[in-house]
Amino acid sequence: MNPAHLIARCRTADIGQLLSGLAAFGGAEVATRLIRIASVVVIARQVSPTIMGVAALALSLFEVVRVLANAGIGQRIIAESPEQLAATCNTAHRLFWVWCLGVSLIQLTLAAVLHAFGMGEIAAMLAVLSGVYLFMPAGLVQVFLLMRDGRFGIIARITAAQAIADQLLTLAFVLLWPSAWAIVLPKLVTAPLWLLLVRRAKAWRPQAAAGLTPWRSFLGFAAGVLVSELVNVGRTQLDKLLVGALFGVQALGIYYFAFNAGLGITTSFITALGQVLFPYISAAQAASSRARRCRQGLWLGLALFLPVLALQVGLAPWYVPLVFGEQWREAAPLVSVLALGAVPMIFAAVASAWLRAQCRPGVEALLNSVAAAAALGGLTLFAGFGLMASAWAYVIGLALALIPASIHLLSGREGIATLAGFQRASA
């Protein structure tokens, strides 16, 4: 597929909002990645694969639990009508507090279970990281209002500031205290910084006079988004837990490094594509215009990311040992394989944005569930052939599930709305 042809197709439409949003996230991500690369280089040279594996296990469990906080509450703010916005924000604010406190209790319970099974260090890490949820509710309404307003430059700068602070703290902690804790603790320490920046960027207070939106109106939308987020985090985090269980902690450390050096580099860009595309599609009134904007997002995503992926895959055997050290040379082929997983993720990001804009997250949940089952099932079934075979099976399973379905969903005149079978599944 010719990137120049894709870019030419994108130029035929007014996609300034989409391009400016992606440019904002892209610029912030470049700055973040420069710091992150330096951090990864130091970490790779200072800690062993075993220490990396312990940190990977703790952070993977944290990410699995944290996805519960993405319950689809905020997406209602983005899609709400101006007349009901104030009441919806009031209700969302209360729901955020109840939900995040509940997620914190779930993580503490998981930590207690792990401690009972003799995994004291990982349990302690999870207990400490549960404090992150205490900072989230006070800033989440503001974040989704910024998204609704299309102020992606501000969101990108806040995200970059937190990520850079995280990496700089990790760098300092690893130099002073080479341990798994040095990789984990910055996640908590940077949470107050995120809250401060968000509240300064968007002033908002509950408006008692506006009343409340019935909380039950959030359930249908939130349930679909939550299931979709759960299966996504299951796909992106449970693979590490499976590798640890099937191949051991040292192999997990190698896989975790390869995942972050390969797929992790492009994941944040693809996530940004989905975040920007959702309000871009929602802003269009006609169904045909929404479908057209959705397809524009797909063409643009492919044009931007495919050349980068080609370079990343082809040059991995050269830059991995040069940048990260000789001890990671054996992980270079794994980096190349996992980087290929970004291709189906581009299709998934576009399809998810469309489905949420259409208020049909149940379809998204179904699609992502099939993809997660295919990827994790392939990884497990091919474990007997080695770590590399499992990685190939993971990527191929992801591609077979996401690419054909997304192409079929987006090829009709009205986009995903033409797939009646998926519509019935989400009803």
Q: What count of other Cβ atoms lies within 10 Å of the Cβ of residue 388? A: 12
Task: Specify the pLDDT at position 17.
Answer: 67
Residue ranges covered by each domain of the chain? 3-426
Rounded CA gap, 184 and 138, in Å? 23
Q: What is the pLDDT of residues 367-390, one digit of tens each?
A: 889 999 999 999 999 999 999 999
Rounded CA gap, 148 and 321, in Å? 43
Give the CA distances from residue 338 to residues 39, 134, 358, in Å, rounded to whole numbers and listed in that order: 21, 34, 31
pTM above 0.75, yes or no: no
Q: What is the pLDDT of residues 180-212, one digit of tens each?
A: 898 899 999 999 999 999 999 999 999 988 888
Residues 6+ apart with CB under 8 A from 386: none
Amino acid identity for residue 81 in this structure: S
Rounded CA gap, 223 and 218, in Å? 8
As a whole number of angstroms, the longest Cα–Cα distance in the chain is 64
Task: Specify the pLDDT at position 419.
Answer: 37
Query: What averages of pLDDT result for each successive group of 10 residues across the chain (427 residues)?
Result: 47 62 73 72 75 82 79 79 89 93 94 92 94 94 90 86 90 87 92 96 91 78 74 79 87 85 75 80 76 83 88 89 82 91 91 80 85 93 93 95 86 46 36
State the angle between helix axes of 16-46 and 263-282 in degrees (0 to 180), rounded to the nearest 10. Answer: 160
Task: Specify the pLDDT at position 312.
Answer: 87
Amino acid identity for residue 223 in this structure: A
* Rg (alpha carbons) of the chain, rounded to whole number: 21
Task: Specify the pLDDT at position 23.
Answer: 77
